[in-house]
Amino acid sequence: MGLAYNVYLNSSRIYGCKGCKTHLSNHEDIISRNFRGQHGKAFLFNTVVNIKEAEPVERNMTTGRHVVRDISCKQCKEIVGWKYDKAYEQPEKYKEGKFILEAELLVNVR
Amino acid sequence: MRIENSGVSSQGSAGNGTSSSVKSVETNGNGVASSVRNGSAKPDTGSNSSSFTMLAPPTPKPSYFGHDREEITRIAIQSLVDLGYHRAAAVLEEESEYTLESPEVSEFRTAVLKGQWSKAEELLFGLEINKDYDVNTLLFYMRQQKFLELLEAREVSKALQVLRTELTPLNQSVEKLHSLSSLMMCLDAEDLKSWAGWDGAAGLSRQHLLSELSSKWTPKIPLNVKQAQISKCLYHNTANSPSLYSDHKCDRNQFPLATVQVLKDHSDEVWFVQFSNDGTRLATSSKDNTVIIWDLEGFEPIHIFKEHLNHVTCVKWSPDDTRLLSCSTDTKAKLWDTRTGECIRTLAAHTDWVSSCAWAPDGLTFVTGSVDREMILWDLDGRDIHRWAGSRIYDLVITPDGQRLAAICTQQKLHVYNFVTREKEYELSLDCELTCISVSKDSRHLLINMSPGEQEAHLPDIETGEVVLLDIETAEVIRRFSGQKQRKYMIRNCFGGADENFVVSGSEDSNVYIWHKENGTLVETLPGHAGMVNCVAWNPANPHMFASAGDDHDVRMWAYDFPNDPPLPNMLRRR
Ligand SMILES: [Zn+2]
> What's the gap in Å between B286 CA and the centre of ligand 1?
22
pLDDT at B273 over 70: yes
* Contact flag B271-A8 (C-beta cutoff 8 Å): no
Lowest mean pLDDT among B158-162, B426-430, B438-442, B565-569: B565-569
Residue of A nearest to B328 (CA): A3
> What's the gap in Å between A8 CA and the centre of ligand 1?
13
Identify residue A106 by its one-letter amino acid code: L
Reply yes or no: is the peptide bond before residue B60 cis, omega within 30 of 0.
no
Percentage of residues in chain B having pLDDT higher than 90:
53
* Contact flag B490-A21 (C-beta cutoff 8 Å): no
User: What pLDDT, on a 0 to 100 scale, did the predictor assign at position B98?
Assistant: 80
Give the count of beta carbons closer than 10 Å to the beta carbon of residue B63: 15
pLDDT at B575 over 50: no
pLDDT band at B76 (very low <50, low <70, confident <90, very high): confident
pLDDT at B30 over 50: no
What is the rounded CA–CA span in Å between residue B33 and residue B42? 11
> What's the gap in Å between B305 CA and the centre of ligand 1?
27
- Chain A touched by B509 (CB under 8 Å): no
What is the rounded CA–CA span in Å between residue B328 and residue B543? 30
> Which CA distances in Å does B515 have to A59, B113, B443, B467, B497?
54, 48, 20, 10, 11
Chain B residues with CB-CB distance to A6 below 8 A: 371
* Contact flag B489-A2 (C-beta cutoff 8 Å): yes
- Is residue B337 a contact partner of residue B323, using CB atoms and an 8 Å limit? yes
Minimum distance, in Å, between the CA of residue B489 and any CA atom of chain A: 5
- Longest CA span, chain A: 43
User: What pLDDT, on a 0 to 100 scale, did the predictor assign at position B354?
Assistant: 98
What is the rounded CA–CA span in Å between residue B469 and residue B483? 15
Minimum distance, in Å, between the CA of residue B84 and any CA atom of chain A: 58
Give the count of beta carbons closer than 10 Å to the beta carbon of residue B8: 11
Identify residue B270 by its one-letter amino acid code: V
What pLDDT tens digit does each residue of chain A (110 aa) get? 899 999 999 889 999 999 989 999 999 999 999 999 989 999 999 999 999 999 999 999 888 999 999 999 998 999 999 999 999 999 999 999 999 999 999 999 87
> In this predicted model, which residue has the larger pLDDT, B92 or B375?
B375
* Contact flag A3-B490 (C-beta cutoff 8 Å): yes
The whole-number average pLDDT for the span B210-221 is: 65
- Chain A touched by B327 (CB under 8 Å): no
pLDDT at B172 over 50: yes
User: What pLDDT, on a 0 to 100 scale, did the predictor assign at position B387?
Assistant: 98
A8 closest CB neighbour out of B313, B392, B551: B392
* Contact flag A1-B532 (C-beta cutoff 8 Å): yes
pLDDT at B23 over 70: no
If you write DSSP's letter for every residue of A19-88 in order, what string do you get?
A: TT--EEEEGGGEEEEEEEETTEEEEEES---SEEE---EEEEETTEEEEEEEEEETTT--EEEEEEEEES
Phi, psi of B162 (to 5 degrees): -60, -40
> What's the gap in Å between B431 CA and the centre of ligand 1?
29
Task: Give the pLDDT confidence of B468-489 residue by residue, as tens digits.
Answer: 999 999 999 999 999 999 988 9
A5 closest CB neighbour out of B394, B491, B532: B394
> What's the gap in Å between B492 CA and the centre of ligand 1?
27
The whole-number average pLDDT for the span B211-218 is: 71
A1 closest CB neighbour out of B352, B353, B551: B551
User: What pLDDT, on a 0 to 100 scale, did the predictor assign at position B99?
Assistant: 74
User: How large is the ipTM?
Assistant: 0.85
Chain A residues with CB-CB distance to B529 below 8 A: none
What is the rounded CA–CA span in Å between residue A46 and residue A29? 5
Which among B108-122, B214-228, B455-469, B515-529 has the top mean pLDDT?
A: B515-529
Lowest mean pLDDT among B111-120, B208-217, B358-367: B208-217
Phi, psi of A14 (to 5 degrees): -115, 135
Mutate to test the interface with A, among B315, B489, B536 (most CBs of A within 10 A): B489
Identify residue A14 by its one-letter amino acid code: I
> What's the gap in Å between A104 CA and the centre of ligand 1?
13
Helix axes B205-214, B86-96, angle to 10 degrees: 80
Percentage of residues in chain A having pLDDT higher than 70:
100
> In this predicted model, which residue has the larger pLDDT, B459 or B174?
B174
- Is residue B321 a contact partner of residue B336, using CB atoms and an 8 Å limit? no
> In this predicted model, which residue has the larger pLDDT, B480 or B41?
B480
pLDDT band at B236 (very low <50, low <70, confident <90, very high): confident
Residue of A nearest to B373 (CA): A110
